[in-house]
C-alpha cells in the first residue's frame, strides 16, 4: 500500500517536471507572435514594436491597417504625427489616414483627409494618386449620397481641370445631379462636358442625357402637383407674415404663375377624361379650375367646356 503510494507520488512529480520543462523551452509570445506583411514595412510582429519610437509606432499603425482595424490605425497615425518632431513621417501618415477611411467605407471622411493632405503638402508627387482616390470616393457615394458626390467631383475638376480625370469627373458630376433629381443642374453639367471637353468619349452620352434631363423634369412636374401646391402655400405664408415686405410683389407674381401651372394640369386631366368618354369626371375638373383658380387663363376655357357639356347633355346621369 505504502509502496504503491510512493510510486504514484513519483509519477506525478515526473509529470510536473516534464510540463515545467516544456513551458521553459517553449518560445515566448514575442518570438512567435502574429506576423503581418505590408509592402511599406515588410514583415512585422506588432508585439515587438515600441510605440515610443515614431518609426516603430508607424509600423504598428500599418499593422492595424492590414488587420482591418481602421479606426485604431487612424488614432495611431495621428499620434505618430504628433510625436514625429522632424516631420519625416507626415506624408505617409496623412496618406494612410485617408486610405484607412476609404477602406472603412467612410468616403466623405476619406475625401476630407485627402484634401487635408493636398492642403498641407501642396505640390506633392502623390497628387495624381490622391485625385484618383478622391474620384473613387465620389463614385462610391453616388448611389447613397449623390449631393456629396457632386462636391467631390467638383473638387477633382478644380484641382486639375485639364487632367485625365477631369472629363470623367464632369460626366459623373452630371450623373450625380441626375440621381439627386436636380435635373436642371444635371443638364447644365452635361452641357459643360460638351463645351469644356469636346473630344471626350463621353460626348455622345452627354448629348443624349441633355434631352433626357429635360424630359424627366417635365414628367416629374406633370405628375407631382404636390410640389406646386406647397410652393403656392409657401408664397402665401410669406405674404401673410410680410404683406409689405421687399418680395411681396414678387410673391404675388409667383402665386399667379403657380396657379396657372396647376390650372393647366387640371384642365389637361379634364380633357383626358373627355377623350376616354368620362364627361362627368371631366366636368368635376373643369369646375375645379373655375372655382379654385378663377383668375387664370384656364378658367375661361373651362367655363366654355362646361357650357358645351351642359348644352349637349353630356353629363346627364
pLDDT at position 53 = 65
Write the CA distances from 180 to 134, 140, 148, 190, 227, integer angstroms. 20, 15, 10, 15, 16
pLDDT at position 258 = 82
Residues 6+ apart with CB under 8 A from 108: 137, 141, 145, 148
- Using the 3D structure, point to which of 225, 260, 275 is the last residue of a domain: 225
* Domain span at 257: 226-311
User: Do both 191 and 122 map to the same domain?
Assistant: yes
Answer yes or no: pTM beyond 0.85: no
pLDDT at position 2 = 42
- Using the 3D structure, point to which of 185, 206, 225 is the last residue of a domain: 225
User: Do both 92 and 213 map to the same domain?
Assistant: yes
pLDDT at position 8 = 41
pLDDT at position 225 = 67
pLDDT at position 255 = 85
Contacts 24+ apart (CB under 8 A), 67-72: 67/36, 68/103, 70/100, 70/101, 70/103, 70/104, 71/100, 71/104
Distance CA 104, CA 140 (A): 12
End-to-end, the C-alpha distance of the chain in Å comes to 118
Asked whether the beta carbons of 256 and 295 are under 8 A apart, the reply is yes
Q: Which residues pair with 42 in a beta bridge?
A: 38
Q: Is residue 39 part of a domain?
A: yes
Mean pLDDT by 10 residues, the chain (317 residues): 45 42 35 46 49 72 86 91 85 94 96 96 93 97 92 97 96 94 92 95 88 72 64 83 84 87 86 85 88 92 91 69
pLDDT at position 47 = 52
User: Do both 54 and 140 map to the same domain?
Assistant: yes
Distance CA 202, CA 206 (A): 6
Q: Which residue has the cell 417635365?
A: 218
CATH code, 243: 1.25.40.10
Amino acid at each position: 500500500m505504502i509502496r504503491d503510494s510512493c510510486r504514484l507520488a513519483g509519477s506525478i512529480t515526473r509529470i510536473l517536471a516534464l510540463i515545467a520543462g516544456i513551458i521553459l523551452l517553449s518560445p515566448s509570445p514575442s518570438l512567435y507572435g502574429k506576423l503581418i506583411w505590408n509592402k511599406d514595412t515588410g514583415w512585422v510582429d506588432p508585439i515587438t514594436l515600441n510605440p515610443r519610437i515614431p518609426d516603430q509606432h508607424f509600423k504598428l499603425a500599418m499593422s492595424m491597417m492590414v488587420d482591418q482595424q481602421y479606426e485604431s490605425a487612424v488614432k495611431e497615425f495621428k499620434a505618430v504625427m504628433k510625436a514625429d518632431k522632424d516631420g519625416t513621417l507626415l506624408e505617409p501618415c496623412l496618406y494612410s489616414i485617408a486610405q484607412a477611411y476609404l477602406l472603412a467605407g467612410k468616403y466623405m471622411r476619406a475625401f476630407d483627409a485627402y484634401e487635408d493632405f493636398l492642403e498641407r503638402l501642396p505640390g506633392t508627387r502623390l497628387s495624381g494618386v490622391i485625385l484618383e482616390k478622391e474620384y473613387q470616393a465620389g463614385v462610391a457615394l453616388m448611389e447613397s449620397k449623390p449631393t456629396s458626390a457632386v462636391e467631390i467631383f467638383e473638387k477633382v475638376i478644380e484641382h486639375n481641370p485639364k487632367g485625365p480625370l477631369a472629363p470623367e469627373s464632369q460626366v459623373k458630376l452630371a450623373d450625380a445631379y441626375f440621381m439627386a433629381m436636380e435635373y436642371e443642374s444635371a443638364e447644365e453639367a452635361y452641357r459643360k462636358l460638351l463645351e469644356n471637353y469636346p473630344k471626350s468619349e463621353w460626348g455622345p452620352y452627354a448629348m443624349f442625357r441633355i434631352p433626357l434631363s429635360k424630359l424627366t423634369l417635365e414628367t416629374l412636374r406633370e405628375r407631382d402637383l404636390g410640389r406646386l401646391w406647397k410652393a403656392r402655400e409657401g408664397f402665401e405664408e410669406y405674404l401673410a407674415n410680410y404683406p409689405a415686405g421687399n418680395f411681396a410683389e414678387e410673391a404675388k407674381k409667383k402665386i399667379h404663375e403657380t396657379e396657372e401651372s396647376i390650372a393647366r394640369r387640371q384642365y389637361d386631366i379634364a380633357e383626358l377624361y373627355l377623350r376616354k368618354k368620362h364627361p362627368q369626371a371631366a366636368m368635376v375638373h373643369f369646375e375645379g379650375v373655375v372655382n379654385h383658380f378663377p383668375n387664370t387663363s384656364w378658367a375661361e376655357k373651362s367655363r366654355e367646356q362646361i357650357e358645351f357639356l351642359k348644352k349637349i347633355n353630356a353629363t346627364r346621369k
